[in-house]
Structure 1
């Protein structure tokens, strides 16, 4: 190999460390951040030549800032090591920023830390491969082949000092010249810094580990130790069985139940459900929303560190006397189900519904629920809470989230390189995944309808929404403060069996009156416990949807 590499290296003219640092600064600062510069150009108040002058100044500020940093940290002995790391981090980060409009934040880092190999495979595409080859591998090859001239320390240090001062003066001068413009833009668009690679990943990773990374070996904090049933199970009434479906990446605006023009809910629309049209999520990513919705903390007070080592909704229900079971067709429960039963889906169902790469259609949850219910002894009177975690509309491979029988909208985007599809194709693929979810939810309700051993209830809500190109954004995970409604406005609906409705008629009527009220994930914890007849001081009544329903229950 050296016989091939060395002749090539010898043909490349050696460069100084200062030249190496400048080239690296230009590549990282100017080449990789074109989406950031496009955003800056769209926000500038100028027109014509002055707008281009402002854009050029912005490019120079970023390049000069990187060049200044490199004067401090890069020397001949470590320059290639640091450069290689920055090229890899910056190259891959820039792909998601430039291609998918993703803003890198601590929340995105948290989402990445909790992803799995299946989700990573879902991001692979020809576009990603080409980006990797030309914007990651080729620069790495250049770094490996280029030779840095040996220099005497004192002249080299002097040159680095001069370059650093010039870079600093350039940054300071341009920021001073356009201070009012930069201050106005970044004050109103604080997320912009999350578009500058690779500093966005480095800063967000440091912030994540400083503030959000779960601390190890923290003692478990008991929560809701006073939990009890206010209506003990008796032979007079059948026990309750609630199925809670945690959806994935479904947004409310794509549900025809909420007024969407395309009929994405052909089956649910025929059922006697309560549809809530104005519900918001706790976060914009599963890693945040799922722990938050089960924590008992409202979004404004949510502390992910506390949630990671404190009991939550499922523990409280279990303590009150419910048999709690989690059935997963996603990437896990993010710690919320660690202390309850986690149902192992039978292999024959995996063979029926799962692809070779491990992804399973959500109808596996329907069959799993059937199998689970069939295994309950006829004499078992234990009330039950079953949580089903969907694959839902998880992107970017939306076309893989529905079977052929539930793909009415054509043409579709049959690729995970969604930024290369037309808006119509992409929306059709996403909408098909909603149609499939509609079928799955309807099928689950049909299973509960036929159950004669329990009073059955059903509650569905998504963990967060999804962007499909609106405002130049794709997927999800944007910082909540600036996230579009597509990522935070989620669908939610309930269904109750005739027996449940008869025994709790005032509650059902009260819930129906709240169909258009502003609700959120904050309401799940106290409202679900209320529906399960659980009493606990942990239930925040301001978020209890049943607070208005204090009429005495029908005996």
Structure 2
């Protein structure tokens, strides 16, 4: 039925030339999809009044002329519609995130997209997104499908292409020459602006991702820390260590009342004897970067994603030294960090208790999973253990789904994933409720460890990255690190240790407590955690080892 309808529509529409088709496509891509870019240009223009509008109009013409010039080389009668479909789909969808959520399309965002899962995609679907898709993606595609392009002699077509290319080139160069000083000043100081122009942002970011960041297949595993060993083996008179490392999701430090936030988002943790580190920064602004980075042993400034993808990391080294290492996940995976250690399979009854029909689970599933894991350990097993819990945390944009009713004190809330349509206070209430729920999960976890008498128990929590909730017109996360706001890079970090750990390692606790207000980062995790676990290796970097900052030295 649909093909026949399109055919009838095509027959009723007067054919247009290829040149006219290219101009229409350039106008649509240049104008309809780039409101956020033009808004930023208008804010940054050095002019006022009519001259400001003239500068804005010149910018629009530059974008349209650039697209039209490019189309003269790639769009021919039999390829024009194919390229149009690709650009309309690519540009239409990315423009939604740019214009509605302030997301900058960067190689990091392409990496996020490549590593996302169906649950994360589902969280992005909303009525606003559906309406945008219909109006700015599917209807333009239908229009292109029914618009006939008239046949022309190749000589006539080439002549028109040369003419349009010449006019576009002259217009492009002329306007860039006239406003060169202004454009140079704006783009020199705001290099991120190009990531707002759809669809070139997607093409450029995708190319950059595959050139520099896409993991290469079948690379040999690089062994790391082969000399790792425990300083002293567990004896019958001394309890083994059990460290639980919690990798949080999308929690930002400024939303923790432990760090001075006005709303009480940490009602339970504030009553416990924890060490709160208030000045901690992340390695990246997205899980796909931060998680492998923090476990790699490479500091952020030297982080090599390709190397990290096929080199052993923190968990491999702890395992080699003698620890039983287990990863328990309630997120989208470990991004390669846990590939060679045990990945705990959560029992179905626990899933039935905490998971919704769409497969997403509340973080209390991690508490029950840890209880089940510990209960299964034989009484005579003295193996030291490192357990990593990966939270769903405050993953957006569906913040309202990240907490249960008893832990939603802040009302009214934004009970939708179309967060850009909520008021700022509603959005913050939903996000803050997710932090309150995380507070409950973490304090309950400490309670589990506190009641365990078979181990010296320790707890370390840090988030993978933060989150923007409308500040500077930005939402979510994944901005290029160099321009990312503090909301995306300033993360919470907490530690707790049992009385048995305190008794056996008092100098460690005192040393860590002294650093709770110092500037730290995820770079400190690798060397500091291995030292806490009594692991000795040449790959432990003393510069980032928190336990060496107080003059503490490991035994040989």
User: Normalised by the size of structure 2, how large is the TM-score?
Assistant: 0.99
Rounded to whole Å, the distance in 2 between the matches of 1:133 and 1:551 is 62
The corresponding residue for 1:309 is: 310
The corresponding residue for 2:379 is: 378
Contact conserved, 2:536 with 2:554, CA < 8 A, in 1?
no
Which deviates more, 544-553 or 313-322?
544-553
SS in 2 for 1:408: coil
Contact conserved, 2:403 with 2:437, CA < 8 A, in 1?
yes
The corresponding residue for 1:356 is: 357
Summarize deviations over 1:477-504 as a string: whole Å, max 9, x none. Answer: 0000000000000000000000101111
Q: What runs of 5+ residues in structure 2 fail to find an aligned partner? A: none
Q: Where do residues 441-460 of structure 1 align in structure 2 (5 Å cutoff)?
A: 441-460=442-461
Rounded to whole Å, the distance in 2 between the matches of 1:313 and 1:253 is 28
SS in 1 for 2:546: coil
Rounded to whole Å, the distance in 2 between the matches of 1:158 and 1:66 is 19
The corresponding residue for 1:409 is: 410
Rounded to whole Å, the distance in 2 between the matches of 1:3 and 1:293 is 57
Once the two structures are TM-superposed, the CA of residue 6 in structure 1 deviates from its matched residue by 2.5
Once the two structures are TM-superposed, the CA of residue 8 in structure 1 deviates from its matched residue by 1.6
The corresponding residue for 1:333 is: 334
Contact conserved, 2:6 with 2:145, CA < 8 A, in 1?
no
Rounded to whole Å, the distance in 1 between the matches of 2:143 and 2:432 is 44
The corresponding residue for 1:501 is: 502
Which deviates more, 326-335 or 45-54?
45-54
Contact conserved, 2:253 with 2:259, CA < 8 A, in 1?
yes
The number of equivalent residue pairs is 554
SS in 1 for 2:328: strand
Rounded to whole Å, the distance in 1 between the matches of 2:357 and 2:16 is 50
Once the two structures are TM-superposed, the CA of residue 551 in structure 1 deviates from its matched residue by 4.8
Contact conserved, 1:457 with 1:496, CA < 8 A, in 2?
yes
Summarize deviations over 1:484-532 as a string: whole Å, max 9, x none. Answer: 0000000000000001011111110110010110000000000000000
Rounded to whole Å, the distance in 2 between the matches of 1:93 and 1:539 is 42
SS in 1 for 2:548: coil
The corresponding residue for 1:523 is: 524
Summarize deviations over 1:366-392 as a string: whole Å, max 9, x none. Answer: 000000000000000000000000000
Q: What runs of 5+ residues in structure 1 fail to find an aligned partner? A: none
Q: Where do residues 92-103 of structure 1 align in structure 2 (5 Å cutoff)?
A: 92-103=93-104
Q: Where do residues 68-107 of structure 1 align in structure 2 (5 Å cutoff)?
A: 68-107=69-108
Rounded to whole Å, the distance in 1 between the matches of 2:59 and 2:525 is 46
Rounded to whole Å, the distance in 1 between the matches of 2:554 and 2:217 is 45
The corresponding residue for 2:540 is: 539
Rounded to whole Å, the distance in 1 between the matches of 2:328 and 2:503 is 29
Once the two structures are TM-superposed, the CA of residue 453 in structure 1 deviates from its matched residue by 0.1
User: Normalised by the size of structure 1, how large is the TM-score?
Assistant: 0.99
Contact conserved, 1:506 with 1:553, CA < 8 A, in 2?
no
Rounded to whole Å, the distance in 2 between the matches of 1:213 and 1:529 is 29
SS in 1 for 2:492: strand
Once the two structures are TM-superposed, the CA of residue 3 in structure 1 deviates from its matched residue by 3.8
The corresponding residue for 2:129 is: 128
Rounded to whole Å, the distance in 2 between the matches of 1:3 and 1:224 is 66
Rounded to whole Å, the distance in 1 between the matches of 2:289 and 2:323 is 26
Once the two structures are TM-superposed, the CA of residue 7 in structure 1 deviates from its matched residue by 2.4
Once the two structures are TM-superposed, the CA of residue 4 in structure 1 deviates from its matched residue by 2.5
* 1:466 and 2:464 correspond: no
Rounded to whole Å, the distance in 2 between the matches of 1:58 and 1:551 is 60
Which deviates more, 5-14 or 434-443?
5-14
The corresponding residue for 1:67 is: 68
The corresponding residue for 1:139 is: 140
Summarize deviations over 1:71-95 as a string: whole Å, max 9, x none. Answer: 1100001000000010000000100
* 1:44 and 2:40 correspond: no
SS in 2 for 1:546: helix
Rounded to whole Å, the distance in 2 between the matches of 1:186 and 1:143 is 34
SS in 2 for 1:492: strand
Rounded to whole Å, the distance in 1 between the matches of 2:114 and 2:553 is 48
Summarize deviations over 1:285-339 as a string: whole Å, max 9, x none. Answer: 0000000000000000000000000000000000000000000000000000000
The corresponding residue for 2:395 is: 394
Rounded to whole Å, the distance in 2 between the matches of 1:548 and 1:64 is 58
Once the two structures are TM-superposed, the CA of residue 550 in structure 1 deviates from its matched residue by 4.2
Rounded to whole Å, the distance in 1 between the matches of 2:303 and 2:393 is 25
The corresponding residue for 2:279 is: 278
Q: Where do residues 124-523 of structure 1 align in structure 2 (5 Å cutoff)?
A: 124-523=125-524
Rounded to whole Å, the distance in 2 between the matches of 1:249 and 1:5 is 46
Rounded to whole Å, the distance in 1 between the matches of 2:195 and 2:9 is 38
Summarize deviations over 1:39-74 as a string: whole Å, max 9, x none. Answer: 111111111111100000000000000000001100
Rounded to whole Å, the distance in 1 between the matches of 2:425 and 2:328 is 34
Contact conserved, 2:269 with 2:439, CA < 8 A, in 1?
yes
Summarize deviations over 1:111-149 as a string: whole Å, max 9, x none. Answer: 110001110001000000000000000000001000001
Rounded to whole Å, the distance in 1 between the matches of 2:218 and 2:11 is 54
Rounded to whole Å, the distance in 1 between the matches of 2:401 and 2:441 is 15
SS in 2 for 1:502: helix
Rounded to whole Å, the distance in 2 between the matches of 1:59 and 1:71 is 19
Once the two structures are TM-superposed, the CA of residue 234 in structure 1 deviates from its matched residue by 1.3
SS in 2 for 1:160: helix
